[in-house]
Amino acid sequence: MAFATGPSPERPALGHPSSVVIVGAGQGGYQTAASLREHGFGGRLVLIDAEDELPYERPPLSKAYLKGEVDESQLWLRPVSYYARQSIELVAGSVTAVDPAARTVRLADGSVFGYGHLVLATGATARTLGVPGSGLRGVHTLRTAQDAAALRSSLGAARRVVVVGAGFIGLEFAAAARRAGCEVTVVEALDRPLARVLSARTAEHFTRLHRREGSRLLFGQGVAALHGDDLGRVASVELADGSRLPADLVLAGIGVIPRTGLAAAAGLRVSGGIAVDSSLLTSDPHISAIGDCAAFPQVRSGNRLRLESVQNAVGHAEAVAARLTGTGRGYAELPWFWSDQFATTVQIAGLDEGHDTEVVLGEDPDAFSVLLFRGGELQAVESVNRPTDHLAARQLLDRGMVLNPADATAPGFTLRGHLTSHRGGSAVPVG
């Protein structure tokens, strides 16, 4: 998901540091450490995280892990021996303060770590339902491995599940709950699922998909309160219109809040996230920010935005590691995303910051691509069960090849064919 917050100025980076401290051991934090070593960084490298876990993958939490197809050790990005071999210090603890003048971070236990360069990979925290009853047992969010473990345990005994929010996390969990045999109702305040990230055409496909699989989807509905039983467990969800939905498990899938508190307290600029330039540098040249917490300038529009995706976190991490070792330049990767629900995969290439024209490729209602144009320029491509289209779209957009709506509606047009016809030719950059 992207959040635009305005343009960003540029500043030169400083020299190579002798030590790097990374706050946050999610995908971005782990990748920063790994890439620094891959680029030959030989200084002290400290990776700090509040979770007392080895760095792990998050996407399987709402998919394979939730369904019991993988265990915790299969989520690990690397075994513990890797960090010892690479001389990466893993520290479990909460960072409570950053002192830019002294170049130190302080943990809740009082320990202090000095840094030559600091990387904030603090991620985001799941939004909770701000309504009466949101603290009842059986009400969950899904962000961490601990969240997923609690959900997986609860899912086995649940019969009636209510999912609040029809974003990717909400719908992926809804699919898993249906596969587990639960009655599922999805409640969404907007008029369709995935409204902030997908076109109406693709969103309608997911409405049909979930209803076909037996879920109930309610749109234009807000949640007023949650009600519990005598034991303090959730028993029903009250909607804004006064109606109630029976529930013994509720998932709040209503988005996340970037963790910017440390940055703000340290005097760094915060605007929709920790503000960074195209090199991922904050307003302090000794501090970078990456991943879900960072608001960075989008390569095409220049608008500052925040993206919640593995691809973005990994790309940020690799760019920072390359900069700190003098082997790379600013971050300018094409955004791409994916989601698996039931037997359907949607893959998104590019970023739709407001389109005015759509072109649909494919006649199969369960396998198609939607090309999104603005002012005749291709912005993004949403592909449902068409992986070849997705791969071609990523190359077209990444290379800046010209494609207009007239070309896309010509008889026999395919993205792969368009890419092949321009490969080796004089592609004209756009944007």
pLDDT tens, 133-182? Answer: 999 999 999 999 999 999 999 998 999 999 999 999 999 999 999 999 99
SS3 content of the chain, % helix, strand, coil (to 5): 25, 30, 45
Is residue 97 a contact partner of residue 262, using CB atoms and an 8 Å limit? Answer: yes
Is residue 283 a contact partner of residue 10, using CB atoms and an 8 Å limit? Answer: no
Look at residue 10 in the predicted model and tell me its pLDDT: 41
Q: Give me the helices (H) in 8-95, please.
A: 27-38, 80-85
423 — pLDDT class (breaks 50, 70, 90): low
Is 80 exceeded by the pLDDT of residue 220?
Answer: yes
In the predicted model, what is the mean pLDDT of the chain? Answer: 92
Is 90 exceeded by the pLDDT of residue 236?
Answer: yes
Provide the percentage of residues in the chain whose pLDDT is more than 70: 94
Look at residue 356 in the predicted model and tell me its pLDDT: 95
Look at residue 12 in the predicted model and tell me its pLDDT: 41
303 — pLDDT class (breaks 50, 70, 90): confident
Look at residue 119 in the predicted model and tell me its pLDDT: 98
Is 60 exceeded by the pLDDT of residue 426?
Answer: no
Q: Where are the beta strands (DSSP E) in 30-166?
A: 44-49, 88-92, 95-99, 104-107, 112-114, 117-120, 124-126, 139-140, 160-164
Q: What is the pLDDT of residues 274-294, one digit of tens each?
A: 999 999 999 999 999 999 999
Using CA atoms, how far residue 328 sits from 86, 91, 165, 324, 331, in Å, is 21, 28, 39, 8, 9
Is 50 exceeded by the pLDDT of residue 111?
Answer: yes
Is 60 exceeded by the pLDDT of residue 429?
Answer: no
Q: What is the pLDDT of residues 351-401, one digit of tens each?
A: 998 999 999 999 999 999 999 999 999 999 999 999 999 999 999 999 889
Half-sphere exposure of residue 148: CA atoms within 13 angstroms, side-chain side: 25
